[in-house]
Structure 1
């Protein structure tokens, strides 16, 4: 039976997630073709293992006949049951709402596509993400902002040190230039994957059931890092620069920058490990290679700088001129 005979050409279904342990990220309503019911659903539903969430399907206006919405699982990260879902949901004639319950049985990810009884077209998808603990999720978010603050503040001691001495002696311009190159690339990656719909669609084509690894703190940090690194380069253009190894001294190099950078790198990696543990997806560690690489390499070089400052060059090889 054709949809156009019994239903208006435009019908909007909105899924509103209510209940304990659940979280949804809504997306705007999609455009619809004539005679086709278009579903507007959350992209992601997060559940703590063992919790349940009530899902409500609603219509703008009641229908003359029962509407059947079928839930079709297209991907499951495990062979066992991750979430308990009904095969279909019926919205009775004359009603505008129908509800069903989703229960989390195991940690993992499930992708579900929605169909209606009036169309053979594939509906939008919902990705159910069952995590170990909501506390770990919040800890992951807090740690993400700690690394953001530590890494972001780490730029200011060097800027202050340069301004105080009116010199960038001991600061390598090559180091700053390479930093700028890396942060620009990191910013392009983060902004594209977090804000640009076309790039997000490309990510979903490559990883149809993947979890976007970029968080808002990643975007803010990378943009802030580009701005502060540019400011440091301006200082280098004003002041004359020499490198540490030529003077056998760390005089002029802010150890506060190194220590905070070490803290930021450590918490950045810790956040990625917590995300991977909480979702049982260890591939998330390498899902954002720029963030992972930045954290690892920053920690390595921070250790080198700390060894130079506290061990190798503790005593100055020259007497500073007043």
Structure 2
């Protein structure tokens, strides 16, 4: 049975990587075909970029850094009743997803700034987002300096990896708000790749299945709640993608009514 569940975990893990990775292609393709990025909020893209960088840093530390994994095992050893050491619920597919997402979001920024695609006058970074990203950058510089200069600090690399993941989740929740508001002010989803929302939801469901399968394999169904990054990331994705689908439905109806009146 454990071998079967391990296989199930791997399958759903790669399914979520494929889905979440594939969801980034429809916007890139649509922007390329229309030579326009008018449907996308630039705040959304920059927040997504920052969050993707933090997620990649978090999973790389948790998966590859021996010191981080040792710290995790020491902190969680008391909660395990078997000989297998406690290890973070991070797999190779998480690393691949993080790297792939980071590259594609950079490609989206490239479309915004270097290819001359059509934009409108509202597509500029808001002051709020600029200040938020500056605050995050300065905070992490301060944390790193504190961790490496204070001899008696209790801050460890595991804490940094956890903070990176937590901020990624927060940014994932925040990043959708500018896009939802932008859709609302436009009263249109024209040019927005709706298919990416459906693919994102499928990826989130697969991610949740893998997370709780891994929790079962660890003999602790609550273990998934101790790894909030993937859990909250999946839930936030589902909620906001459902909102975008609802907006697409409402604004398409609004457009049809308007066209009939005209």
TMscore range, shorter length: 0.5 to 0.7
1:150 and 1:284 map into 2 onto residues whose CA distance is 24
1:244 corresponds in structure 2 to: 183
- Structure ID, larger Rg: 1
Q: Specify the alignment match of 1:292 in structure 2.
A: 231
Partner of 1:230: 106
The alpha-carbon deviation at position 313 of structure 1 amounts to 3.5
Match of 1:305 among 241, 244, 261: 244
Determine the structure 1 residue equivalent to 2:212. Answer: 273
How far residue 286 of structure 1 moved from its aligned partner, in angstroms, is: 2.6
Higher mean alpha-carbon deviation, 149-158 vs 189-198, is at 189-198
Segments of structure 1 that go 5 or more residues without pairing to the other structure are: 1-131
Pairwise CA RMSD of aligned residues?
1.9
Q: In structure 1, what is the Cα distance between the partners aligned to 2:216 and 2:249?
A: 36
Structure 1 stretches of at least 4 aligned residues deviating more than 6 Å after TM superposition = none
Superposed, 1:132-211 pairs within 5 Å as: 132-208=1-77, 209-211=85-87
Gaps of 5+ in 2: 78-84, 124-181
Following superposition, the deviation at residue 293 of structure 1 comes to 1.8
When you count strand as a share of all residues, which structure comes out higher? 1
In 1: Cα distance, 2:214 partner to 2:253 partner:
40
| Residues paired across the two proteins, number | 188
Instruction: Write the distance in 2 (CA, Å) between the matches of 1:315 and 1:161.
Output: 23
Give the whole-Å Cα distance in 2 for the aligned partners of 1:281 and 1:287: 10
How far 1:183 moved relative to its partner? Answer: 1.3
Q: TM-score, normalised by structure 2?
A: 0.67
Give yes or no for contact 2:72–2:87 (8 Å, CA) kept in 1: no
Q: Is the 8 A contact 1:213 1:288 kept in 2?
A: yes
* Separation of aligned partners in 1, 2:218 and 2:76: 16
